């Protein structure tokens, strides 16, 4: 039994990230926490702290676009981290999660005027901001091995409500964008052309929207599986486990 313990301890030791890797991962995650905290503050400021005159001068997207473009697209780094083995995340699952949001920002909101004023934008940003503050905060604290139990609980519980809210906001953005794409031939390639190829932006938006049907349940159930693994399936079970 002791030999087995020694044998299993070696791989975990060899997989321990270097100090440089830990510093990089901590800085990246801490930076994302700061960025999404700023976006959440912008949402609160825009809707609760400022008056109608402020909102009449600029749309939510005009107010938040720089921060959203920077910190949402910075999530692409997560795919690289997972692909190169710097973190234990599944690169395929990470890729779906990251690209769906990047598609909303770059391929929907930035690409169409209707996406910028969609009622789904504040819904999505609100869900994204809270989710990412908790998620990146959990990752950063986990690197230094100081993770309070309430952070673990939030990481594997808030998604139950926030994921459906976020997806609802994303799909509303898609819906507002496809209405514009249907009436205007934007970002499309029509025949004839020198490439002898065609592309319909309107059709592409619908393909992505319909892709949520098979993909979202898998990602959602994956998070429930992770929750059962970490918390034991219920808050009471988690508390009992912590007490023991």
Q: Which among 26, 123, 15, 129 has a CA at the least distance from the CA of 68? A: 129
Alpha carbon distance 72, 78 (integer Å): 11
Angle subtended at Cα 206 by Cα 78 and Cα 72, rounded to the nearest 5 degrees: 25
Among candidates 58, 56, 67, 178, which has minimal Cα distance to 125? 67
Query: Whole-angstrom Cα distance, residue 76 to residue 133?
Result: 17
Q: How far apart are CA 216 and CA 195, in angstroms?
A: 35
Prior bond of 4 cis (ω within 30°): no
* 2: Cβ contacts below 8 Å, ≥ 6 apart: none
Catalytic residue, from 163, 201, 212, 220: name it: 163
Q: Is 220 a catalytic residue?
A: no
- Identified catalytic residue from 156, 170, 180, 201: 170
Q: What are the φ and ψ backbone dihedral angles of 189, each rounded to 5 degrees? A: -120, 125
Q: Quick check: is 53 catalytic?
A: no
**Active-site residue set:** 163, 170
């Amino acid at each position: 039994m002791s030999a087995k313990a020694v044998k299993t301890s070696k791989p975990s030791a060899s997989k321990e990230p270097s100090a440089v890797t830990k510093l990089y991962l901590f800085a990246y995650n801490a930076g994302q926490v700061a960025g999404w905290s700023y976006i959440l503050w912008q949402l609160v400021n825009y809707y609760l702290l400022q008056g109608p005159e402020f909102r009449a001068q600029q749309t939510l997207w005009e107010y938040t676009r720089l921060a959203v473009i920077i910190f949402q697209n910075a999530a692409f780094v997560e795919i690289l981290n997972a692909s190169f083995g710097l973190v234990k995340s599944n690169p395929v699952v990470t890729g779906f999660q990251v690209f769906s949001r990047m598609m909303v920002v770059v391929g929907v909101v930035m690409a169409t005027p209707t996406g910028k004023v969609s009622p789904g934008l504040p819904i999505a940003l609100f869900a994204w901001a809270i989710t990412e503050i908790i998620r990146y905060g959990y990752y950063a604290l986990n690197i230094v091995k100081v993770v309070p139990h309430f952070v673990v609980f939030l990481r594997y519980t808030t998604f139950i409500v926030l994921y459906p809210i976020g997806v609802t906001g994303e799909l509303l953005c898609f819906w507002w964008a496809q209405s514009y794409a249907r009436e205007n031939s934007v970002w499309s390639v029509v025949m004839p052309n020198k490439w002898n190829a065609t592309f319909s932006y309107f059709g592409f938006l619908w393909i992505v929207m319909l892709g949520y049907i098979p993909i979202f349940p898998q990602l959602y159930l994956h998070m429930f599986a992770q929750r059962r693994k970490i918390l034991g399936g219920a808050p009471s079970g988690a508390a009992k486990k912590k007490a023991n």
